[in-house]
Amino acid sequence: MRGRRSGWRCAAAVALLVGVLGAPAPAGAARLVGGRAQTAIARAFHSSPSHRRLQIVSERVSTVAPAWAVVRSVAPQGTGRSTSGTTPIRIQSTYFHSVRGRERAARPPAAVRSDLDRPLSVAIVYAGSGSEAISYQQQSRSLCPGDGGFVDIETVAVDPMSWSVRYVVNLDDLRIAVRGAQGAVLAPGASVDRAGSSLDVTEKLMRSFVDVGCNGRTAVFRCTTRFGLSPTAALSFAPALQIGLPMTAASATGSCDPVVFALGPSLFDGGATTALVTPLGLLGGHLPANPYAPVTVSWPADSASWQSGFLTSPCAGDTAVCQDAMNWRGTVTIEPLG
């Protein structure tokens, strides 16, 4: 990605929540909970004075006995900590039993506790398709006294454009747990499942410029770039899930020197490379009643004209010289890994 302006960049934090209370289910990995069940468990957790400085990491319900749940929490530090070469960040467990619709802290039976204490990882799958395009035209003063000025035109188009990227997130492996002026920031271990991911993206750029005042000739440059998967995860969890396409240039043909395309904004600055999924405030946030249901994401066809266009469009709010057409749709889905 050659973008110079970006609406979103990755920071980190995750709160995962578990289950629905009801009849016993077959043994299996504990499941995340969302909606009213999550809210009730979180309220019970925060009602204890001893939990005042703790940050919820995840909430899970037992599949052995769904009336039991566990809140996994952490005490954020003043500075970041890493599991790499140091002591892992300690995550605490608090167990709750739902009795007549009320959540009460209690010690679960051995089989239930074993179920709730199992390490939990989930897959986050971001899939979509469509196309994107921008056009950029600017006229400035000529270097010569003649009429006409200096005219610079750039167009960028991405087509084909389809992807299905699978991330694996370990909810019990925090790499960062810090507290700052804006609140707690949590970052779990995450990686790209390359075997379970695919990406088909081709970007075509064209730039032409001419100094009419100098009676110059038009210079035209073209570049075609195919993108492949990068091994680096593009995920952020604070305050809501921000999920991106981990891309790297796989091949390029034409006049692709970055200096040639120094003026226009890159297409991928604010498009499908980063989608904000507000219903999935994972670590420390809130999940929908069914955390595993797909969430639809898309981009406006003319985001440059939005009031927040500076943040949401690769045109960075400069609608006088730049227009965009972001025509893609996708889904983001949490999948249980057992």
Contact 276, 312 (CB under 8 A): no
Mean pLDDT for the stretch of residues 265-275: 73
- Phi, psi at 164, each rounded to 5°: -150, 100
Indicate the pTM of the whole model.
0.82
Structure tokens at 62: 């037992």
Does 290 have pLDDT greater than 90? yes
User: Is 86 exposed, middle or buried (CB count within 10 Å of its CB: 0-12, 13-18, 19+)?
Assistant: exposed
pLDDT value, residue 81: 47
pLDDT category, 103, cuts 50, 70, 90? Answer: very high
pLDDT digits (tens, 9 = 90+) for 61-74: 999 899 999 999 99
Query: What does 7-60 look like in DSSP terms, one character per residue?
Result: S--------B------S---S---EE--HHHHHHHHHHHHTSGGGTT-EEEEEE
Mean pLDDT for the stretch of residues 306-322: 71
User: Do you find a cis peptide bond into 76, omega within 30 degrees of 0?
Assistant: no
User: Is 202 exposed, middle or buried (CB count within 10 Å of its CB: 0-12, 13-18, 19+)?
Assistant: middle
pLDDT value, residue 308: 56
How far apart (Å, rounded) are the C-alpha atoms in residues 257 and 275? 28
Contact 16, 59 (CB under 8 A): yes
User: Is 234 exposed, middle or buried (CB count within 10 Å of its CB: 0-12, 13-18, 19+)?
Assistant: buried
**Tokens 């039991």 -> residue:** 68
Mean pLDDT for the stretch of residues 307-331: 78
How far apart (Å, rounded) are the C-alpha atoms in residues 7 and 35? 29
pLDDT category, 169, cuts 50, 70, 90? Answer: very high
Mean pLDDT for the stretch of residues 225-252: 88
Does 26 have pLDDT greater than 50? no
Where in the chain are the domains? 31-119, 122-336
pLDDT value, residue 1: 36
* Higher per-residue confidence, 302 vs 292: 292
pLDDT value, residue 86: 59
Closest to 336 measured CA to CA, from 195, 213, 168:
168
Closest to 292 measured CA to CA, from 37, 39, 33:
33
Closest to 142 measured CA to CA, from 216, 219, 220, 221:
216
Q: What is the radius of gyration, based on Cα positions, of the chain? A: 24
% of the chain exceeding 90 in pLDDT: 49
Mean pLDDT for the stretch of residues 173-188: 83
pLDDT digits (tens, 9 = 90+) for 204-220: 999 999 999 898 999 99
How far apart (Å, rounded) are the C-alpha atoms in residues 38 and 291? 10
- Of 63-72, 134-143, 175-184, 229-238, give the lowest mean pLDDT range: 175-184
| Strands 241-244, 235-236: pairing kind | antiparallel
pLDDT value, residue 300: 66
pLDDT value, residue 3: 35
